[in-house]
Chain A
Amino acid sequence: MLKAVILIGGPQKDTPKPLFPIAGLPLIQHHIKACVKLVECKEILIIGSYTINHMAQFVSDMQKEYQIIIRYLQEFTPLGTAGCLYHFRDQIRAGNTSSFFLLNGDVCADFPLQELWIFHEKRGPNALITIMGTEATRQQSVHYGCMAIEPTSKAVTHYVEKPNSYVSTLISCGVYVCSVHVFNIMAKVFEEKDNCYYSTNGVSSPQPGYMSWEQDILAPLAGTTKLYAMQVTNWWSQVKTPGSAIYANRHYLELYRKRDAQNAPTANCKIIPDVYIHPTAEIDSSAVIGPNVSIGAGVKIMAGVRIKESIILSNARIHDHALIMHSIVGQDATVGEWSRVEGTPSDPDPNKPFAKMDNTPLFNVDGRLNPSITILGSLCNVVSLIDELRNEGFRRRTRVTNTAHGSIKKVEVGNGRATSLVDLRKKGSRRAIMNWTLQHGATSL
């Protein structure tokens, strides 16, 4: 019997990143879709430190939709990627599991799980883990787990996480098949670390039971013929920055259209594929939507609106003649008439083979914001000039007056829930970009 484990980590802010909608589905639903394709896979375990009420609705929806056992296991102490697996080892082993898939929640891909499992089986009983690997550029490889393999057996001979200097262009995708015997190795590591923790009065390790999957398990297993890597050329990307959400959106939309022959949305406005529109969204017939747009539930789009390369979250309202491009518009946000909300696209360099998203930090070395897609937080209100006076009495905690690409005349931020906005005003210019990252906490303005 097979199982799948999805590691989603913990909350950095109120909106759980694993549930951020991409191509109309929560980020990790794409993982689940890939897992349920394998009939041998009988259970999906989601492990993270989000509270159960953040995840309960999603888990029950998924159970209903895919008719498979899905459970959320909440970790209460940060034990690291391997520590939490080991902590829940009995849950994973229950039901006589032979192997399990391990998927990082913050990646998106055309997951080749069937191929990965067949590959793993062929390595023989000695194989504990097979890593899904992909090619990266020399420069970008050092931001990932880098590995060297023996060309015929595909055994991993060396593994190092985020090296300081170039090691190999073959990187780990954060997607694995593991035999349950991996828990025997983990038990040994656990014991060693435990002894070490108590013999050094707790200074050698952050927590008793803390284990890193990459550093404590993968790296020592390299060169032992127990660790293998299958190199794939399928589309794959991390989802670390908001810019990568737009990139992932494009690829998932394309993937589902091509592979699953997913129907184009039925809307009476002009659509430039690929576009996802939730059935409950209302769109005026004079709007023009696409390419690469996802529109969430209950969104209202008025006359003459143009949207491209963007994600519009649920219940947002986009008023007449507005233009939105390279942006994410948050839940319940409002964009006023004739507003222009424009971000800077941050796709991987198309001229470099195997280039990945550059996960640039929010700020550059000069302390200025790096150009990025534009994000309007939830309940954010981009007011058109005409509405300015009418909204003076708007309930607010934070208010920003600025221009984004000269276009956002005023931004009003609601009660601050799930909202963080950073104002970028380039020196001496009228251009500013509203930015917000999935990882950073609320920035007070």
Chain B
Amino acid sequence: MCGTDKKLGEMRALILVGGYGTRLRPLTLSRPKPLVEFANKPILLHQIEALVEAGVTQVILAVSYRAEEMEKELTEQVSKLGVSLTFSHETEPLGTAGPLALARDILNASTEPFFVLNSDVICDFPFKELARYHSSHGKEGTIVVTKVEEPSKYGVVVYNENGQIQNFVEKPQEFISNKINAGMYILNPSVLKRIELRPTSIEKEVFPFMAKDGELHAMELQGFWMDVGQPKDFLTGMCMYLNSLRQKNSALLHDGNEVVGNVLIDSSAKIGKGCRIGPNVTIGPDVTIEDGACIKRSTILRGACVRQHAWLEGCIVGWRSVVGRWVRMENCTVLGEDVIVKDELYINGGQVLPHKSIAASVPEPQIIM
């Protein structure tokens, strides 16, 4: 048992940061996606913290976009955690497997297995259990799988009672499994032999062959899971995350007269009189919520201001944006950085680009440039 723990202490992880984060526009026009705050913490930091918690000492970030900004900011944030960050730069997008080949030298430096994860995933990260299960079956790789309600929209994973994966089925019409790839893996360095340095997909060009060879296992994820790569799922994921905090009895959640349900409020935020905040709201640092505002199921990012009597449901309010008095915003409205919404307007599902001033209502969902 002691030996297993020692092994964990030497572990490495590769995070597929990758692309431009177009699905989370307009937020990603101002900040790289991994740095967008999910529940008041950059998405990537949720993952790095969980990896550190599981004993990972070296994290390799496979990046292709805005790397300088991210390197600077992340290195600062991560220095306290006692983990070394290595940036592996792609000059062209290499898909989900190519970055592993690019980082081959680092990953081959040890014979210990390493974690691989997609950067958009939010859940109760099960890295310790994953490492334990992986070493118990002794095969080349383990995929974390999660249960979904509508498997026909995804590629599903079919495996036997021992967890050994038999095959993958894309968008099954007839029910065959309700488990999908959760975007988290642990792989032995030997897997690198299966990957060429070119744009290639780990899901389509690596895993099916490993499964054929009987070298791939599945581990079922307990608790919530969400790919928060787009605004609608970002908010759904936030609700799940706050609920999970509640179950862990976290002192992070806010209590008070103006609060309903699970609400996360940064200590530097100001909340006015007669507000109703929640359920499922995250309010970032230096945010001002003026008197009589009502906010449900929304994320308000750093420095934003929600003015008097405004009503928000299902919104992401970008950094330093201002929502006017008596404004009503709903239906997955996303304000980019530094947007101004004038008083008394109605915004239904608007995606508003940064630095824009809105002076007329948006009654139907649309992108406002």
Give the chain A neighbours of B292 by CB distance below 8 A: 303-304, 320-321
A325, CB-defined interface residue at 8 Å: yes
A250, CB-defined interface residue at 8 Å: no
Check A431–B348 contact: CB distance below 8 A.
yes
0 or 1 for each of B274-292: is its CB under 8 Å from A? (1 = yes)? 1010000000000000011
Check A325–B331 contact: CB distance below 8 A.
no
Check A406–B328 contact: CB distance below 8 A.
yes
Among residues 334 to 361 in chain B, which have CB atoms less than 8 Å away from a CB atom of chain A? 344, 346, 348
Check A321–B309 contact: CB distance below 8 A.
yes
A306, CB-defined interface residue at 8 Å: yes
Pick from A303, A320, A338, A405: contact of B346, CB under 8 Å: A405
Give the chain B neighbours of A340 by CB distance below 8 A: 311, 326, 328, 346
B330, CB-defined interface residue at 8 Å: yes
Pick from A304, A342, A406, A407: contact of B309, CB under 8 Å: A304
Give the chain B neighbours of A304 by CB distance below 8 A: 274, 291-292, 308-309
Number of interface residues of A (CB under 8 A): 18
B223, CB-defined interface residue at 8 Å: no
User: B325 → chain A, closest Cβ, in Å?
Assistant: 7
Which residue of chain B is the closest to A386 with respect to CB atoms?
B276
B9, CB-defined interface residue at 8 Å: no
Interface centre among A320, A323, A386 (most CB of B within 10 A): A323
Pick from A308, A338, A429: contact of B311, CB under 8 Å: A338
Give the distance in Å from the alpha carbon of A431 to the alpha carbon of B363 in the complex.
7
Give the chain A neighbours of B308 by CB distance below 8 A: 304
Give the chain A neighbours of B276 by CB distance below 8 A: 338, 386
Which residue of chain A is the closest to B349 with respect to CB atoms?
A430
Interface size bucket, B side? 10 to 19
Which residue of chain A is the closest to B293 with respect to CB atoms?
A321
Give the distance in Å from the alpha carbon of A403 to the alpha carbon of B328 in the complex.
13
Which residue of chain A is the closest to B348 with respect to CB atoms?
A406
Check B346–A342 contact: CB distance below 8 A.
yes
Give the distance in Å from the alpha carbon of A236 to the alpha carbon of B274 in the complex.
45
Check B344–A325 contact: CB distance below 8 A.
yes
User: B6 → chain A, closest Cβ, in Å?
Assistant: 55
Give the chain B neighbours of A308 by CB distance below 8 A: 344
Check A429–B346 contact: CB distance below 8 A.
no
Check A321–B311 contact: CB distance below 8 A.
yes
Which residue of chain A is the closest to B311 with respect to CB atoms?
A338
Give the chain A neighbours of B311 by CB distance below 8 A: 321, 338, 340
Q: Please name the 9 residue pairs, one residue from A and one from B, whose CB atoms are nearest each other, closest first.
A: A321-B309, A304-B292, A323-B326, A306-B326, A304-B309, A338-B311, A338-B294, A340-B328, A321-B292
Binding site for B on A (CB under 8 A): 303-304, 306, 308, 320-321, 323, 325, 338, 340, 342, 386, 405-407, 429-431
Binding site for A on B (CB under 8 A): 274, 276, 291-292, 294, 308-309, 311, 325-326, 328, 330-331, 344, 346, 348, 363-364
A-B contact pairs, 5 of them (CB 8 A): A304-B309, A321-B294, A323-B309, A340-B346, A406-B348
